Amino acid sequence: MRQMARASAALSALLWIIGPATAAAQDAKTTVENALRALGAASLNSIVYSGEAAYGNFGQSRTISFGLSSTSIRNYTRAIDFTKPALRETGIGVPVAGPRSPQLTGPAAAPRPFELTAPSSEGWPAQMEIWVTPWGFLKGALASNATARSRKIEGVAYQVVTWSPAQKAPSGQPYRVIGYINPQQILERVETWIEHPVVGDMHVETFFTDYADFGGGLLAPARITQRRVGMETYVALIREARANPANLATLMTPTATPPAPSPSAPVASEKLADGVYRITGGYVSLAIEFKDHIVVLEGGQSEARGLAVIAETKKLFPNKRIKYIVNTHPHFDHASGLASFCAEGAVVLTDDNSKYFVEQALLSPRTLVGDTLAKSKKKPKVEGVVEKLVLQDETRTIELHHVAGLEHSDAMLIAYLPKEKILFTADFNPPQPGQPVSPSIATLVQNIERLQLDFDRHVTVHAPNPDRPMSKADLLALTKEGRGGLSSPPDK
């Protein structure tokens, strides 16, 4: 009898646990279905909307944090096929300020075609853009055993719906997508987190305002905005929206086949001087030997590249630790290898203008990334360079200098080895034949003259063609060939 009583009690407890969960799932299903009906989207399989948009140059602006430069998209159209699922955006891109968006092609100074796709073969960080739209979120919730709970925010009672896609993060953890449905059964906001090599678990919030009927009972927000780690990175003003467009196949067809990724070049090292090696096979790095440690200049454009540079450095100097990794500037293609060095215990040296951002990014939770830093459990260390920092012992000297007056980045460092007469820089690239010389080259020369740096070899992160260190004469010749020549010295 006691065993039967215990079994009965256990069964009752189990039913008590299952009951609320089942009820929550049913409540979520009802909430989502009501919201889909409120949008006139119960039978929606695809959508196209158009108007104007702008993308903030996240991770590529002159200022790495708030105050992003942006690219305005005229004749903007976004088409989404929820059945595949796939997304395609088109328009004419017009840079407002700062470095160009990687989605744009053509002359840097002119409006140029914009196209962005997220095919079904893409991972969640790209596919996410489909499912953080109002209709995508609700359709995803309906198919994904969502849960719902009530929550009052600033006096408004929201139904907070949460679901997870089938895809998992690189760490193996599930993603979470959370939507906030107001008392009028309208979705106001969606938030989620995706992995990022610099930022870690990157918070992405998408907001929808000014819903309107665009015909046939379909409601769409007239304004969509998106923030990443609190920074506004996308705005769309919708002028027209159509459900289940008849010309969907045309809307979803890319104008050109995306180029296949270039095969990775093998990592190799070239001796420039005693204890100074140029590491190639990706973004160029320098490994520099001191008496009891190593300094690496440039961590690379990815975790894989960072790990490759670390492995080559250890092969060159097997009995010395990497004490410092110098971040030339915080643009994401130059900062995405830093986490690998932090896992080794190296201190990141970055320009003081980017210190706070780089430090906070690397200290952020990395539960989704699953990279070497996340696995190491080490706390990253970041130090800022204010104008100038000298790394020196009895064997070697490296000078790190802030580049003043640079439009490309306000947090650019260059490195100078006075004994070896080597200058190391990033993103001061010689132009392709027939192309104009970037104004950044003139800014670099102005800074070299201001700092009185005497060098014979100029090593660049982006290797020139042919792949070799440039000379000072090569650099000065570019300023003579460019448009406009030198201007007044930059502000300090």
Task: Reply yes or no on whether the pLDDT at 97 is more than 60.
Answer: no
| Residues 17-49 as b or e (16 or more Cβ within 10 Å = b) | eeeeeeeeeebbbebbeebbebbbbeebebbbb
Alpha-carbon distance values, 104 to 92, 114, 116, 224, 360 (Å): 9, 5, 9, 22, 30
Higher pLDDT, 16 or 455: 455
Higher pLDDT, 292 or 112: 292
pLDDT (0 to 100) of residue 110:
73
- CATH for 268-481 is 3.60.15.10
Task: Reply yes or no on whether the pLDDT at 14 is more than 90.
Answer: no
Higher pLDDT, 25 or 251: 251
The rounded distance, in Å, linking the Cα atoms of 382 and 75 is 43
In tens, the pLDDT along 120-133 reads 889 999 999 999 99
Alpha-carbon distance values, 409 to 188, 231, 463 (Å): 35, 17, 20
Alpha-carbon distance values, 232 to 23, 37, 203, 245, 454 (Å): 37, 30, 12, 30, 42
- Determine the distance from the C-alpha atom of residue 107 to the mean position of all C-alpha atoms in its chain, rounded to a whole number: 24
pLDDT (0 to 100) of residue 488:
33
pLDDT (0 to 100) of residue 464:
76
Higher pLDDT, 34 or 256: 34
The rounded distance, in Å, linking the Cα atoms of 371 and 378 is 12
Confidence of residue 235 (pLDDT cuts 50, 70, 90): very high
Between 19-33, 164-178, 402-416, 439-453, the lowest mean confidence (pLDDT) is in 19-33
What's the average model confidence in pLDDT over 276-302? 96
Residue type for position 19:
G
Confidence of residue 22 (pLDDT cuts 50, 70, 90): very low
Average pLDDT, the chain: 88
pLDDT (0 to 100) of residue 151:
95
61 contacts: CB under 8 Å, gap ≥ 6: 67, 68, 69, 98, 99
Task: Reply yes or no on whether the pLDDT at 99 is more than 80.
Answer: no
Higher pLDDT, 484 or 395: 395
Q: What are phi and psi of 60, to 5 degrees?
A: -135, 10
84 contacts: CB under 8 Å, gap ≥ 6: 119, 120
**For the chain, percent of residues with pLDDT exceeding 70:** 88
pLDDT (0 to 100) of residue 98:
45
What's the average model confidence in pLDDT over 408-421? 96
pLDDT (0 to 100) of residue 19:
40
Does the domain at 27-252 match CATH 1.20.120? Answer given as no
pLDDT (0 to 100) of residue 465:
65
Confidence of residue 381 (pLDDT cuts 50, 70, 90): very high
Task: Reply yes or no on whether the pLDDT at 20 is more than 60.
Answer: no
Residues of the chain with CATH 3.60.15.10: 268-481
In tens, the pLDDT along 461-471 reads 998 766 777 78
The most confident of 9-18, 54-63, 322-331, by mean pLDDT: 322-331
Structure tokens at 250: 């045309």
Residues of the chain with CATH 2.50.20: 27-252
Confidence of residue 314 (pLDDT cuts 50, 70, 90): very high
pLDDT (0 to 100) of residue 295:
98
The rounded distance, in Å, linking the Cα atoms of 82 and 165 is 14
In tens, the pLDDT along 353-372 reads 999 999 999 999 999 999 99
Confidence of residue 25 (pLDDT cuts 50, 70, 90): low
DSSP state of 232: E
pLDDT (0 to 100) of residue 5:
44
Single pTM value for the model: 0.87
**For the chain, percent of residues with pLDDT exceeding 90:** 76
Confidence of residue 207 (pLDDT cuts 50, 70, 90): very high
Cβ-defined contacts of 102-110 (< 8 Å, 24+)? 102/60, 103/55, 104/71
In tens, the pLDDT along 437-450 reads 888 898 999 999 99
pLDDT (0 to 100) of residue 266:
87
